[in-house]
Amino acid sequence: MNEYFPILAPVIGIVGVVVGVLLNEFMRRRSRRELYAPKIFEKRLAAYEGLIEQIHQGSKVANEVIERVDFTEEQRHDLIRVVVHGMAEFTEKNRLYLNEDLTVHCMALFMGVEDIHDANEEDRQELLEHYRQMRKEALRMAAEDSGVAEINRLFKAINKPKIDGALIRYFRETKREATRDRSETNAG
């Protein structure tokens, strides 16, 4: 055993140096991630805020296109084309921070809205419901992917707010009924 001590000490030293180098690299990378994470989160949040604003502005135009009777088919098409083009430009500009699947969903959100006004009543209701559902999903996905939904859940768990009132109870009941009706319609 004594004959191995002269060899064992340098081997332990070399292993210690290698482990130290690897541990140092791991800690350095972790520190760098922690340094850049808040900056990236801020930029992502700004991109998602912009995306939600694009959805809201596009929805205003879409509602005009759906409701106004004085627009021609060409005018409706042109207005929606501008909205879709604006959404495409915005998502392309912010593609580094936005989820690719969500950007595809948002670009498709307003496509076909120009056809809702001229559709027969049955198709109109179906197209309108489809558009509204896609809009709702886009806003939900943006909140989820941006991290805001998770932070709001965390704040709610910490604060445990007691938000209640007659109007709020009515809203919750109506929302439950609408969800129940929608799930029954989809199941049937």
Our count of domains for the chain comes to 1
Give mean pLDDT, residues 40-53. 93
Q: Is residue 164 part of a domain?
A: no
Q: What is the per-residue pLDDT across 111-149, written as a single tens digit (0 to 9) for each?
A: 999 999 999 988 999 999 999 999 999 999 999 998 888
Q: Is residue 13 part of a domain?
A: no
Closest listed residue to residue 66, CA positions, set 58, 76, 57: 76
Helix axes 121-146, 100-109, angle to 10 degrees: 150
Domain span including residue 85? 44-148
Q: Is residue 89 part of a domain?
A: yes
Q: Is the pTM of this model over 0.85?
A: no
- Tell me, what's the pLDDT at 182? 76
Q: Is residue 165 part of a domain?
A: no
Q: Is residue 37 part of a domain?
A: no
